Amino acid sequence: MIHHELIVVGGGLAGLRAAVEARNAGIDVAILSQVWPGRSHSGAAQGGVNAALANHPESADDTWEKHAFDTVKGSDYLADQDAVAQMTKDAIPVIYQLDQWGCPFSRFDNGTIAQRPFGGAGYPRTCYGADKTGHYMLHTMVERAVKAEVPMYVEWFVTRLMVDEGVCRGVVAYDMIKGGFEAFTADAVIMATGGAGRTYSNSTNAIISTGYGMAMAYHAGVPLKDLEFVQFHPTGLLTTNILMTEGARGEGGYLLNGEGERFMQRYAPKAMELAPRDITSRSIQTEINEGRGIDGKGFVYLDLRHLGAEKILEKLPGIRDLAIHFEGVDPIEEPIPIVPSQHYSMGGIDTDMDGATDLAGFYAAGECACVSVHGGNRLGGNSLLETVVFGRRAGAAAAQHIRNSGPSPDMTVLAGRTVAAVEAQVGGLAARGAAGEDPYAVRAEMTTTMKDHFGVFRDAATMHAGLDKMLALKERVGNVGLRHTGGVLNLDMIRTVELEGMVDVALGIAAGALARTESRGSHSRTDYPDRDDTHWLKHTLAHYHPEGPRLGSKPVTLGMFEPQERKY
């Protein structure tokens, strides 16, 4: 049994930012991460991070209020406006602080942080470091955690929350290097494990973005919010779904259909390629569905050739490398074949602006959380921002919570009990062994079901069929067997254990999507094409139940901006 005052699960941007904040507040905090923190999925973010710094010559009169408006409009008015205001206000000092911590943002000639236009934004306010902004920010944050001497338990896979009488008391984790399970007791836990992209087969996300952190909270009784809002990024590489940044269009890239037409002029005549992601993805999907893909096939082109070699090498070098290595296409010479791909979970663990949840002592931040600042559709450049703004706030709030709570009770019994429960769970999987269901077959069916039935366009019949399939998979996942029982770096065990959580989160997405009889943001129903503010201007809450999610709702916080029609 190991004790720290605060345990942060996940070493991406949000987790690191939370840990640094708590550490600087004098809290004994430790990070548990499945990978060395610098390998986290935050590092795959490319295009940039939004803050109304007004550095760009065309954004001299930009303000946080305008950033807030763009965010709320982008969210299709589902975002909580107090949280959005907080985020867009905090954005400015948080980005300056990142720079002072060494983050190598690109620069304008006058030495200020460079900014580029991004989808759905009224001003060029996306601060960037070439097309590797996430990588730069993540490494800067790891460096800060090293400086603050935050203890890191690297390659520990957290499997379960320890909850006693309605209070979160720590986690149980698998030591991937030495083998075995260990209890980590704590006065507070912050979950920062990222999104659930891998519940879809066509995701841009890292392989570890399974949503298992959400599932742990869900299983512990914390509701998940707005799961049905799944962002499809307009430009994933055709064969691998690897992300091609929105920055490619921010720098002037075109989207072309099979007829060589810049088809966005028919969908968003003003914003063109820089319409928000939900609209752009739907436009691409419509072109494909109506037979105007390239050679009538299921993809369109992202064309950067007119930008010229110099601009591509200066502003988009990472995109070029990825296109060459993974698609065999050099964007300087050829257009890039792309397809809309699952990219981001707007929904997640239901938290307030401080990352606090219904479960005392349990906080969440980053993509696994839903504050909600993204509502029905996240704007590009707001996810990196969310991680640092709300990571910081969650770290500060957890530190305050620890200071306010009395001395920790003896948790030996609880720790022993929870470890035994995890060992029994894994023992049960091992007992079924090869005679049980094949977890990888279940995983493959789940991811294709989610892609085919809960994609860019949705309707009742398709979703009903999908939900039935998911419920059948939920049955089967209870019978999966573990084939390998070794202690060290047992991928079979990790991937089998996380599968159950993935199925539960995917079921939440499915149930929420079927229930929401309107179109809003990324949730686009052909049978209910309009937004329905009378009935659906509210958050969906999914509560875990062994037989499937129980849905509830929660009001949206309005305030600064009245809902209106979205036009770009």
Partner 1 sequence: MPEARFRIKRWDPESDEAGAERYDEFTVPYDTSLTVLEGLFYVQERLDGSLSFRYCCRAAVCGSCAMYIDGRYRLACQTNVRHLTGDVITVEPLPHMPLVKDLACDMTDFFAKYEYIKPYLMRNSAPPEKEIPQSPKDRHKLDEPIDCILCGCCYSSCPSVWGEENYLGPHALLKAYRFEIDSRDQARRERLPRFDNERGAYRCHTITNCVEACPKELNPTEAIQWLKGAAVRRRILGRLK
Q: Which of 233, 282, 374, 525 is catalytic?
A: 233
Q: Which stretch binds partner 1 (CB under 8 A): 60-68, 204-212, 498-506, 523-531?
A: 204-212
Find the binding residues for partner 1 in span 112-151 (CB under 8 A): 112-113, 129-130, 132, 135-136, 139-140, 143-144, 146-147
Residue of 249, 320, 443, 531 marked catalytic: 249
Nearer to partner 1, 94 or 542 (CB): 94
Maximum alpha-carbon separation in the chain:
69
- Residue 295 binds to partner 1 (criterion: CB under 8 A): no
Applying CB under 8 A, does 109 fall inside the site for partner 1? yes
* Site map 172..201 versus partner 1, x via CB under 8 A: -----x-x----------------------
Interface with partner 1 in residues 322-381 (CB under 8 A): 322, 325-326
212 binds partner 1 (CB under 8 A): no
Alpha carbon separation from 343 to 282, 337, 451 (Å, rounded)? 14, 17, 12
Whether 249 is a known active-site residue: answer yes
490 vs 400: CA distance, rounded Å? 37
Taking the complex as a whole, how short is the minimal distance between the CB of residue 556 and partner 1, in angstroms? Answer: 34
63 binds partner 1 (CB under 8 A): no
What is the CA 441 to chain-centroid distance, rounded?
Answer: 25
Q: What does the angle CA 293 – CA 296 – CA 300 come to, to the nearest 5 degrees?
A: 20
Question: Which member of 239, 265, 412, 479 binds partner 1 (CB under 8 A)?
Answer: 239
Residue 308, exposed/middle/buried by CB under 10 A (0-12, 13-18, 19+)? Answer: exposed
Query: Which of 111, 296, 407, 555 lies at the binding interface for partner 1 (CB under 8 A)?
Result: 111
CB nearer to partner 1: pick between 33 and 449:
33
69 binds partner 1 (CB under 8 A): no
139 is catalytic: no
Helix (H) or strand (E) holding 500: helix 491-515
Cα→Cα distances 143→16, 35, 137, 384, 388, Å: 10, 16, 10, 17, 15
CA dist 488 and 177 (Å) reads 5
In the sheet that 188-191 helps form, which strands lie side by side, from edge to edge?
A: 152-154, 29-33, 6-9, 188-191, 362-364
Query: Following CA atoms 373, 375, 380, 384 in sequence, which dihedral angle do they give, to the nearest 10 degrees?
Result: 30
490 binds partner 1 (CB under 8 A): yes
What gap in Å lies between CA 192 and CA 16, rounded to an integer? 9
Shortest Cβ distance from residue 33 to partner 1 (Å)? Answer: 11
The CA–CA distances, whole Å, from 98 to 91, 94, 101, 508 equal 10, 6, 5, 35
- Please count the CA atoms within 13 angstroms of the CA of 479 that sit on its side-chain side: 10
Which residues make up the interface to partner 1 (CB under 8 A)?
35-36, 38-41, 43-44, 53, 95-97, 99-102, 104-113, 129-130, 132, 135-136, 139-140, 143-144, 146-147, 154, 177, 179, 206-208, 239-240, 242-243, 318, 321-322, 325-326, 440, 482-484, 486-492
Residues taking part in catalysis: 233, 249
